[in-house]
Each structure stands twice: as C-alpha cells, then as structure tokens.
Chains A and B, each alone.
Chain A
C-alpha cells in the first residue's frame, strides 16, 4: 500500500537527487553553473527520440531492453561533448556571470527544441516505451546510478582531482599559484556534471512517459540549485538530503492544499538563514558536539 502510493515519490527523490548532484560537481570547483537542466533535457530527448521515432525502429527491434543502456551511453557521450564545447568558453566567466551564461545556454537549447520537428515542437514527445510496470521499478535505473555516483563522489574528494576542485573553490588565485591548471580542472568538474545530467535525463524520459521543453524551465534549474544548497554544498550527501526534503515536502503536505507551497517557501527561507552549510552541515556539527 505504502509502496504503491509513494513509489513514484521515492523514485522522484532519487532522480532529483542525481540531478542536484550534477550541479554539485561544478560547485565543488566553486563554479555556480545552472546548465545541468539543459543537459538533462537533452538526454531525455535522446532517449525519447530513440524510443519513439520510426527511424530507430530497427534499433528497438534488435536491442530489446538493451536499448536503455545504449540510450544512456549515447546521452552520456553527447552531454560530455557538448559540455566540453560549452564549458571551455563559459568557464572563463566567474560567479554570477557564469550563472547567467549557463541560463542563456539553457534558453537557447529550449528555443531549438521548440522549433525542431524531431523533438515534437511545443507538444513534445509521448508514448515512450516503458521497461517497468510499476513506477517503483525505476529504482533499478536510478538506484544503482545513485550508489555509483555516491561512491564516486566520496572517492573524488580524496583524489588529486577532487582536492584541486576544492582548492579552486576556496581560492582560485592561490590554487593557480600552486600550479593547479585551474581552467582544465574547472572544465573537468563541469563536464562530469553535464555527463551525469545527460544520463539522468535519458533515464527520466520513460519514467515520466513524456518529454517536452518544459522539463528544462528556469524554475527547474533553480529547484536543482536549491537541493544542493539546502542539503549542503560541501557534503557528498547534500544533494540527496536536499532533494528528499524538497521533493517530499509538497507531496506530504498535499492535504494542506494551497498552504503547502507557503510551507515549502518557509522551509527554504529558514534553511537559508539558519543552515548556511545545509542539512549536511547541521548533521555534521551535531555529531561534532556529541564527540566533544
């Protein structure tokens, strides 16, 4: 009963957490990028087109369920390549200018999908083939990906690359002075995020049954950023905690009707004022106090 009711919600939390994580990598290198949602949208379109277009009928026939991993790989490759192309010029910008440039990139992508025929224009694509009967089944897609990404992130913080990211975040000039190739590292962090967003998009298209330009709205970008900031930008667990809170809250508060959006807003404001390090930061400080 519980799983039947909340299956979709549970998977949605994991899915949004992964999306938040794609924003977490550039943030780890101190780059405020909102481009993730654009790559998410692109990955989704790749999966939706491969799942519905007559041009890919032969592929679907030949590959069967193996089509899904193929979609992920193509989405990963496409997102990483485009991420590289966007990242190299865009990452010369700093702070708010980078955020603006990435927002512009997402808007351009949106206009492109609205005018193309292959993306279904404003209606988008629908009737995407489903690998699972129940929504909960999609945990087989997102669950392992989340596990892999969590392990990857935890390992990353201990490698040279990860430490370089964090050095850039703390002080870019100092990092450069120490011989860290800052542009290279920033692009690397950005591309990891882009690739992840693309794969999450490719997994999400069948999960939502339909894909359209509204998947990459500005609101969605901001929501992603909120997951990371509320959860804690400095912890591996941040995006997951943030997504769990912000995705579940409006659903759990459903009986409150209109007031639930107000509650959501209040939680955001309170978290911003009192939890500068996010929920993960709060948990860490609690543990420190316990030890002391």
Chain B
C-alpha cells in the first residue's frame, strides 16, 4: 500500500512538470489517417507534409533551426484521433498539430488540443463550425461556399442552354451533404431548375435506380457531390446508359484515384478545386516540382493543403522568433504554443493555394479557386486535370 502511495505521488509530481524548452529540431505534429479507408486521403497528406519538411528545412527552417514532423496515425474513427492528439501533445511535446483528416474526427479531437492550449491547423476539415471549436483551432481548407458556384458558372459558359439540372449526393458523408447544400443554393441562384435530387451512399456500386431517374427527367446537367470511388462509378454508369450532357463534380472528384474507377467515361467532367497543380504562383511551382521529384506524380489537393498547413506553422514560428527576439528552441513549450497560436491567426500567407488569410477566428479566406476538366489518358488509368481558361 505504502509503495503504491509513493508511486501515485511520484506520478502526480511528474505531472506538474517544470518549464520545458522546445528543443531542436522543433517538433510539429501530423495527425492524419494513415490506415482504414481514410488512408486514401491521409497518405496524400503525409506526402505533402514530407515535401514541406524537406523544402522548408532546406530554406533554413525557423531561423536556422530545422523542424521535425512527428507522425501519428488517427485511423478513421474518433477514438483514434483523440489518442493521436494525446500522444502528440504529452509525449512528442509538439508545438502545433496539423490534422485530423476528417471533420468528424476534428469535432472529437480538437477540443482536447484546445484544452491543452496547443494550436491545431486543420488541413482538410471543411464542415461548418470547425474554426469555432475554440481559440486554438484554425483551418486552411476553404469551405465550399466559394468553390462550388465557380464550377457552375464555368459549366454554363460551355453550354449556355442548360435549363434543367439533376443533383446527386452521397447522403452518408458529412462533406458531401454540406457541399450539395451549397451547390443547390447556387443552382437556384442562377435561375436553373432542379428537376431531380438523387441520394446515394459512399459504399454503393450500383446506381441503376439513380441513373434511370436522371435519364427519365431529361436534364442537361448533372451536379454530383460524391467521393472518388462512388462518384467515378456513377459517372461511368451515367455515360454507359446514354447520358450525354454536362457533369459537374464537387471536391470529392478531386483525386487521381477517380481515373482508374471510371476510365475514359470521366473525360470532360468539370471539377471545382481549391488547388490546381498547374496554378501559376512561385510557391506552387517550387512545391509541385519538389513533389514530382519525390513521388513522380502531380500533387493532389490534399497534399497541397497538408504542405500549406506546415508552411503556415513554420511562417508563424518565424514570426514569433522575430517578434520575441528569442530562439524558438530555447523557449518554454507552453509559452511558445500560446504565442504561436496568436501568430497563426490574423495573418496572411503565400502558399501553393495562392494567397490565404486566416482571420481572428482561425477561418480561412482564399483568394483564388480553380475549375478544371478531367482528361483521362488512353490507358484509362491515368489522367490530368486540365485547367479551364478564365
């Protein structure tokens, strides 16, 4: 019993740790899904972050001190995200966390970081209310409010005679449900008719019912909010059963994983994007060249957003070092986290996504968006996103 009490007392004392310096290299946490079906996006994010670590350290890191990324896999569920955050905060002693991949995980894990006063930058959380979770939470992924209408406008330019529109969305996916809301408002705002609304599920593979309904409604445009696998299949079946009109896809179509699913049938699909590897700015040129060098392919949007998150943290760290006059590595971790959070918000950054601004809430304002058309190569497995001219 006595030894138990001593042990408990020891644990308690260890908890009230003394001031701890950050140390060199500066640890930055990456908590994204590297396993389960979220890994499809998580792996792209890991790649983007790795490019950021290499590129930013080559540029001198934070005033000469390099950064080191600490990776923790969140898996695909809430408990995994909480565990990953907990590990990064108390074991890896990171100065900030980038993640998690899904908005639903962010709702579970971000309050934990907020309580521990550790800044979180969300690379891909697009749901409403993320930045409002707390003072220490910000995100660099634009909500779809601006992106979606752009794609519709560009589609109307290609075919000004569009009148009747079919809307399709995956009803069991948080992102697609919120995206379709924005699409539907934009469609009505442009004076078009929504003739039919079809619901799917992200695990569906057979879309005969939905395709028949769309063909029967005689529409000139189909606007889809689905993920890569189900969306690709749906496009394929639409085309195979004879639909010839325009197809506009949301952010879920924004992945090279689409091409092998739907092959040639995807050529011509219009996609709204928050990032394009062809974007014409210096930051993006450096990033996409380094990415191609490392992974032999064009970066996807998730990679660019992960890169951007790391860059935001590093830029803010540089800012803290400049304004405080102290070396980051020698600062107390808790103190630095607070200063870093203050530096992250209310600033603007040059990134591969173009210029972005984070307001005092940690909410992003992005200046440039892109609209591309999918072009699948003859092999039916690879392809490119061709930027549509302004």
Contacts and interface: CB of A to CB of B under 8 A. Distances in A.
B254 interface: no
B79 A254 contact: no
Given A3-B11, A209-B108, A210-B78, A122 B171 contact: yes
A148 interface: no
B389 to A, nearest CB: 35
A121 interface: yes
Contacts of B107: 124, 126-127, 209-210
Nearest to B72: A254
Contacts of B115: 133
A137 B103 CA distance: 25
B145 to A, nearest CB: 16
Given A122-B172, A123-B174, A135-B86, A1 B104 contact: no
Contact of B79 (A4, A12, A123): A12
Interface residues of B, number: 37
A183 to B, nearest CB: 35
B83 A115 contact: no
A133 B115 CA distance: 8
A1 B112 contact: no
A114 interface: yes
A9 interface: yes
Interface string A105-127: 00000100011000001111011
Given A122-B172, A123-B103, A123-B174, A5 B87 contact: yes
A2 interface: yes
Given A4-B15, A210-B78, A122 B83 contact: no
Contact of B104 (A110, A123, A133): A123
A145 to B, nearest CB: 18
Contacts of B173: 122
Contacts of B1: none
Contacts of B186: none
Question: Which of A121, A122, A130 is packed against the most chain B CB atoms within 10 Å?
Answer: A122
A111 B62 CA distance: 49
B194 interface: no
Contacts of A126: 107-108, 129, 133
A124 B107 CA distance: 10
Contacts of A115: 171
B251 to A, nearest CB: 15
Interface in B124-149: 127-129, 133
B14 to A, nearest CB: 5
A2 B34 contact: no
B177 interface: yes
A127 B172 contact: no
A208 B172 contact: no
A41 to B, nearest CB: 13
B255 interface: no
B172 A257 contact: no
A141 interface: no
B270 to A, nearest CB: 24
Contacts of A5: 86-87, 90-91
Q: What size tier do the contact residues of chain A reach?
A: 20 to 34
A221 interface: no
Interface string A125-148: 011001001010000000000000
Contacts of A251: 83
Interface in B61-84: 72-73, 75, 77-79, 82-83
Contacts of A258: 34-35
Question: Which of A3, A209, A214, A250 is packed against the most chain B CB atoms within 10 Å?
Answer: A209
Given A1-B14, A1-B15, A257 B34 contact: yes
Contact of A114 (B109, B112, B133, B172): B172
A174 B42 CA distance: 55
A147 B171 CA distance: 40
A127 B107 CA distance: 7
A208 B104 contact: no
Interface in A194-220: 208-210, 212-215
Interface string A1-19: 1111101110010000000
Contacts of B73: 254, 257
Contacts of A208: 78-79, 82, 108
A3 B171 contact: no
A123 B15 contact: no
A283 B129 CA distance: 49
Contact of A4 (B90, B127, B171): B90
Nearest to A6: B86
Contacts of A250: 75
A8 B20 CA distance: 24
Interface in A251-275: 251, 254, 257-258, 261
B178 interface: yes
B172 A213 contact: yes
Given A1-B11, A5-B90, A258-B35, A209 B111 contact: yes
B361 to A, nearest CB: 15
Contacts of B15: 1, 3-4
A97 to B, nearest CB: 24
Contacts of B108: 126, 208-210
Contacts of B103: 123
A258 B133 CA distance: 31
25 contacts: A1-B11, A1-B14, A5-B87, A9-B83, A121-B177, A122-B174, A123-B128, A123-B174, A123-B177, A126-B107, A126-B108, A127-B129, A127-B133, A133-B115, A135-B86, A208-B78, A208-B79, A210-B104, A210-B107, A212-B174, A214-B77, A254-B72, A254-B73, A254-B87, A258-B34
Given A1-B90, A124-B174, A257-B34, 10 more contacts: A2-B11, A3-B15, A114-B171, A122-B174, A123-B103, A123-B128, A209-B108, A213-B172, A254-B87, A258-B35
The 8 closest A-B pairs by CB, nearest first: A126-B107, A210-B107, A123-B174, A122-B177, A122-B174, A210-B108, A209-B108, A1-B14
